[in-house]
Every structure is written in structure tokens, then in C-alpha cells.
Structure 1
């Protein structure tokens, strides 16, 4: 982002700060006016869950994505600490220090992990050892994808870069026209079979991972409105994947599903949210900007149930786990809702700093990371 664009983003930010769930544009303003959430009723635990362990790392001040690799999770603190934990016990497997604050992470294939620093450096790690680092031409707020011996990076300027996993050498790069404003939160980047799938503006794009050749493009949402804020349609992190079908959210615009085998759009429906989706093949789950949690039929996009009890609690993207849909909030509570109708099943407590990332499941353990750097493991009771 140019200096002038950064200034413009800072000036426009107060107009949209109250709508953004994650960190958004550079210069995020504190103290946005948001209605006070309603008090929650006493918790009735219909699903037995207990805290099994907790761990501590430095505070999280960036759009963290927790990586799950088998029975381990990889997380990171804002100061550049990258921590691998055994999800069953909370035991520390490895710890690495990047040496500078982070802007994005963590991507991992179980052997190599990668993060991005605020100075636009991609840093690859193996255990507690740094393998290499490579300077980017732009910022990135999306965890790198580590797959097939390569590290793929989605830039905030809608660039896509493939790096050699052994030494960080650039293999190929795709660039798109930059927009005046970009989201300071994670976008869509994943592998589906032999296709690299990325969110570039409101489009899901399928790319040959070996050559960078674009195989298909699928519009989930189109830019609308008369100003730069209203025209933000980037796809946001947190997708539901079933086989080759990928369902995603375009920021404050739409939710939709795409067949990654050929790039055909299954459906797209208007929606006003800023965090990603989860699903189980039959139903999708997500929350709107005001904190309403809702469901959609995966086959058609038809709306299902709506839970309004968590409005204005600043929710994470959901995790679909068994009979539950799980979201964290800005007070550090973790809400377990019924997959069938959205009714509460249980409410878990961490600390009061707020949940920093979408909860993840590793083996039999639900793992939650908070903004103060608390890492909590919950298991069935």
C-alpha cells in the first residue's frame, strides 16, 4: 500500500471500525461505538466438556491462524514466538523465535512452518531452527500455505507468490491491480487436489501450483457501492470444504460455494459478515457483522436457523465439531451451539482478553488461543 493510500485508509477507518470483526485496515481505531451485548443467561452444560490443560505464549496482536498437524497445533505470539504443542497434553514440542513482530501466520505442513513479519519477511522454520527468510514486495495478513515442498503467499495487494520450500527462492508470482483499501485480516488460501485456490478480491481463483497459470476464476461477489469502503469484497479466511466444493464469505457482501474442480459457482447469496464459514457438507455456519450466528443449506444457500443471543460480542469464525458449532468472543468466552437449531449447548471460559483466532480441533482436543497469549485445551468430559 502506498503512503497516500495508507493515509486514506486511516481517515476512512472510523466509518467501518464498528463493523469489522478482525483487525482491519492499518491504523485500526480503538473505541468504536458498538451496542452493548445483552447479558447471557446462566450456563447450562448440555454437552460435557472440561479444560484439560493450558499453556502460555506472548500476546497475539495480529490475525493469527492456528495450524493443526495431526495431533499437534502450531500457534504464534505477536513478538515472533512460534510454538508447537501436543494437543492431547499441552506439552511443548518446539519453540522458535523469529526475532521480530508478526503480521501473519502460522502455515505448516507438519515439518516446516512459515510466518510473515511486519517488515514483510517470509520466515520458514523447522522445529526451533530458522531455515530461510525472504523479503516480499507487499504486506500479507494471511498465513502462508506450506505444501508440496513450497511456500505460497497471498499478498494484501492481491498478489500470489510461490517460494521454494528449501531456500525461499521465488518460483512464480501473480499480480492483480491493487485497490485503494485492503483488509488487514487473513484471506483464502488452500490446496484442493492439484489446484492452489486463493481469494483475489471477490473471486475464488484456481491456480496451477507448479507454473502459476490460472486455471479458472469464480466470482463469489462483485464490488458494489460508490466509495472504496463499500467496494471491499475480499474473500476472508475460514472456508467450508467438502471434496472439491469450497464455500467462502466475501467481506460484508455474500457467501457462496464454488466447485474447485472446474471453477463453477454453485450459488452466491447476500450476507453481511466479515469472518469465515464452517460446514459439514450439508449445512454452513457463520456469523454476521452484528454477531447473529446463522446457518445456510450447503446445496442451495437457503437460510436456516438464526441465533441472536450473541449479538455485538465480536465473534470469531466458527468451528463445526460433531453436534456443535463453536465460536469465541471478545470477552474470552467460547460458545458451543447446536448444529441443528443454534441453541446453546455449553459455554467455556478462558481469560478475559478475548479469543484471538478461530478455535481448532486436534484429535480429541478443542484448542482456543486468546489475545493475551493463553492457549487452552478442552476435551469431552
Structure 2
């Protein structure tokens, strides 16, 4: 059982190590913090923390650094999150200003978060399986290409080119738009995918020029709607891992692979257990089942269309947890507010 002063000593070691990147000794703690006790007393407290495996000595006769277990205890006993500065709040607000659609909002969100924290920022796309398709638009581009645009009632917009056998005039495009709209408009994304699959899976009853153009267009519609259903992440700041490679004892390759593949990070972020404030942290060995035993992941929830998704940070265990958790919470709040305003304006 760690005493109250022991927790204060652990807090001092974490804060000093994060700030200086140097092992922390008892004399440094006495000099930098007002404990009102001798260095010998602090050494005794540090010995007890070491017995609890909360701190460790990286070298013989050196100071001490936190273990992943120590970081966990530190986070669990955070008295308060360090408030963001007015400059940081202004940076977040300006990054998110003038967003055009959901894709743009989420891209700006992760850029804002990585700018404020210096970590890899992650935001989980909302699930659009229950969204309804509100509009299908087709634009003939010539050379057998048609731009297919899909819009849902949650603000998701998709644009992708379909390749058709023949060039189309305005009358052709209007007829194809009407036919595609009948298939998916007004239906949920999930139902739209099923309806497209039914049509494409059946033998065509006719084989006119427009029938032959409709099938590749519907194939694109189905593939895009199916992607709407998939969980995925938007990320920014991966270069920060390379800049902080010295903070990892081993290779950063597993982290880079996780960023590239996304499945691992999505599963990790989904399974993290949040506290009463909606904040979650998974530190060091807690991430071993996901192949990321030297990383920390922080997350908060944001609200959209009646459901919740997660936004977070990925970085080394040596990070400023108080500031970073505050940043994640603040950006999640801004994002929820922005999406709510957008929904109310529809």
C-alpha cells in the first residue's frame, strides 16, 4: 500500500522525468519540490515505490524512472487535469473553423490534436450503418467516366468515379440518376447495400446501353455504402513517433504497423474502459495483447447522431498525461459541439 507522501513522490518523479527525460534522484526531488523532509526520507519513500514496482533504476546508482505500473498509478491518482492555455484552446478552435463536411472536420480534428500535444492523434469515424441515404448525384466526365456522389443524413459525403461502357449525354445521366436513386435513396446504408447486392446478384432482365451503364454505377454505390459501415480511423502526426524514438526501448515498427493497418488500434480504442469523465488510458504492458507494450493510448468519447465514437492519442509512456488527457477531452468536446451544430442546421 502506497502512502499519501509516497504518491506525491511518485507524482514528482513522473513530472520531473517527463520534463527532463533524466532519471530522478532524491536530492532533485527535495530541490524542486516542497516536501519539507530530508533527502534520506525521500530515499526511503523511493525504496518503497521500487518495492511496489512503480519506479525502477535504469542504471546502477542512478536516479529512478517510472515503470508502466507507476504511470498507471499516477494517472489513476491525478487530482486534476492541467488546463489548456488560451493559446492552445484558440489553436483548436481555429483548426476546426470553416470545416466543410465530416471528412474535413475529422481531418482538421486530428491535426489540431497532434499540434497541441506532439503525439499521434486518432479519431474513430462514427458508424454510419444506421444512416439514411438522402441523395445520389451523377456527373458525366466524358471518356466513359461518371462521378458518383452519395450523401447521407449524417453529413457523410462520398465521391468516386465509375467507368461505364459508353459516353453519356445529359438525358442518359438523368435517367441513370433516377434509377440509382430508387435503389438507395431513403433507405439506411445497411439496407442500401443489401438492395444493391440483390440487383447485382440477379441476372439482368434487359441489356440496353443504359442497363450496361447502370451496373458499374450501382457497383460503386454499393462499395461506397459498404465502406460507410466500416470502422476506420483518421490519423495525424505519425512523424512524431520517429522524433521521439529514443523514448521507446525497442523498435517503433509495431506502432507504425498498427497505424498502417488500423485494425489493432480500432480494437484497442473500442475496448478501453473509460472513467466517469469519459476518459480512458491504456499504458505499457496493458497494451501487450495488441502488440504495443511500450506505448500509451489515451482516449475520450465524442457524440454524433445519437451514438459515441472515440478520439485519442498514441505515444510513448513518457508523456505529459495531465495535459494530454485535458487536450483529448477538450478536442472531443469541440468536435461534439461542432457536429451537433451541423446536425441542427440541416
Q: TM-score range by the shorter chain?
A: under 0.3
Bigger helix share: 2
| TM superposition score normalised by structure 1 | 0.19
Where relative contact order (Cα < 8 A, 6+ residues apart) is larger, the structure is 2
Highest Rg: 1 or 2?
Answer: 2
Q: Provide the TM-score with structure 2 as the length reference.
A: 0.20
